[in-house]
Amino acid sequence: MYLFNHKLVTVSTLCLVLFLTACGSNNKNDKADKQVLNWNEKTELPTIDPSLAMDGTSFDMLNNSMDGLYRLGKKSKITPCLAKSAKVSSDGLKYTFQLRRNTKWSNGDTVTAKDFVYSWRRTVDPKTNSGYAYLFDGIKNATDISNEKKEVDSLGIKAVSKYKLEVSLDKQIPYFKLLMGFPIFFPQNEKAVQKYGNKYGTASKYMVYNGPFKMSGWTGTNLNWKLIKNPTYWDKKAVKLSQINFKVNKSTTTSYNLYQSRKLDETELSAEQAKALNKKKGYQVLPSATTYYLGFNKENHSGLENKKIRQAISYAIDRKQFVNKVLGNTGVVSKGIVSSKLASYQGKDFADEAQTTAGVSYDKDKAQRLLKEGLNEIGKKELKLNLLTDDTDANKKNVEFLQSQIEEHLDGKVKISTTSVPFKTRLARSTAGDYDLVLQYWGG
């Protein structure tokens, strides 16, 4: 398929995440005797560097251990955080924030306007190679800085005083305050970044925190860590939990067994488990605006540089069958690159309004015709491609299905091998272009 850059094929939008939760109620008494939450993660933690984070696990940790100008609540409600007040110019191109006084970093430093200036400049600096630097588009000179056309200190952010921050825009950004609740826009302590150098954000001890919790016990590679209540947090009265224990379980069988033995307060369920446990107390179905898609590498001369071959692979995938058989109807077929229920305008779902057939349709005959034409154009009779994915049980099942669909519906002329690696490795290989095909997902 081709959506925008001819490198993606949308597979499915996963709209329902199935959970068993029992925080406090997994004991005999309804009220927990300790304010400690034992939480399951399905993937390892790649980083806690706000400039480099690109995944849900990293952002979850940053949202719990860091503060920005605003918080995002239920239905994206914006509430003030470090921004005590804000003034917007009449043309919508200048925001002036008055920050809370005497909020602290965990190293004892005061959080100031300069911490925001340093953080934003570091993120848009091409040397940092931030995957989400493009979100600064619209902030004065940000795009030119990312494209190395202007110096980083020309970015439209200025510390007017210790607690007064000014942001200038190139154009109006209607969702600007929403962006400010995203961790990539959070402040960073320059002293800590300089002290830890390349180690910054790679383990809990190589970071300073200004949020509700402080991280502990994460070495950068281990599969369990903690968030401990931050005693110097400015809003600590609102923090009810004393500690959150995280444990990575890539198998829902393992996590469910731990839940049963009261070592976890929550577990995500597979489609099979959900069918058996949907009457159990604590069972919940939560919507998740997450889109699964295939990335095509057009640069490694595997044959995917040919447009018709990419189209053929896309048309060879029966997404309805994927949703029914693999996801157990816990998802829906994608209507486009934007997930259903992610965003709406005047009561209308953006995914419905922007619905397309490009890249989301199944047509076996068309797939075979396009493949034949594409192979003729590159002078080959067949292709051998590798499909990269995460090493979770769920993703292994996903790629098994995709492998069989592509090979069967293209009459064996495209042979698919699969490689399952840890999430952190998959992210690194995806960024480096070290793959033929890669199964990825993006969640809002």
In whole numbers, what is the pLDDT of the chain averaged over residues? 90
pTM, full prediction:
0.86
**If you average pLDDT over residues 86-99, what whole number do you get?**
98
Half-sphere exposure for 16 (CA within 13 Å, toward CB): 16
* 3-class state of residue 121 by DSSP: helix
pLDDT, one tens digit per residue, over 123-161 is 999 999 999 999 999 999 999 999 999 999 999 999 999
Whole-number pLDDT of residue 27: 46
- At residue 288's C-alpha, the angle toward residues 341 and 443, to 5°, is 90
**If you average pLDDT over residues 24-34, what whole number do you get?**
52
**If you average pLDDT over residues 109-126, what whole number do you get?**
98
Whole-number pLDDT of residue 162: 98
d(CA 441, CA 416): 20
pLDDT, one tens digit per residue, over 386-408 is 999 999 988 999 999 999 999 99
Q: Is the pLDDT of residue 198 over 50?
A: yes
Nearest in space to 12 (alpha carbons), one of 359, 250, 273: 359
pLDDT, one tens digit per residue, over 312-366 is 999 999 999 998 888 887 888 888 888 888 888 788 988 898 888 888 899 999 9
CATH topology match: 8-15+288-443 vs 43-244: no
Pairing of β 94-99 and β 83-88:
antiparallel
- Class for the domain spanning 8-15+288-443: alpha beta
Q: Is the pLDDT of residue 5 over 70?
A: no
d(CA 40, CA 224): 9
In 174-331 the beta strands, taken as DSSP E runs, fall at 213-216, 224-229, 243-248, 266-268, 283-296
Q: Is the pLDDT of residue 260 over 60?
A: yes
Q: Where do the domains of the chain lie?
A: 8-15+288-443, 43-244
CATH 3.90.76.10 is right for the domain spanning 43-244? yes
Instruction: List, in order, residues 6 or more apart from 268 with CB less than 8 Å away.
Output: 17, 18, 19, 40, 42, 252, 255
In terms of Cβ atoms closer than 10 Å to its own Cβ (0-12, 13-18, 19+), residue 381 is: exposed
d(CA 44, CA 47): 9
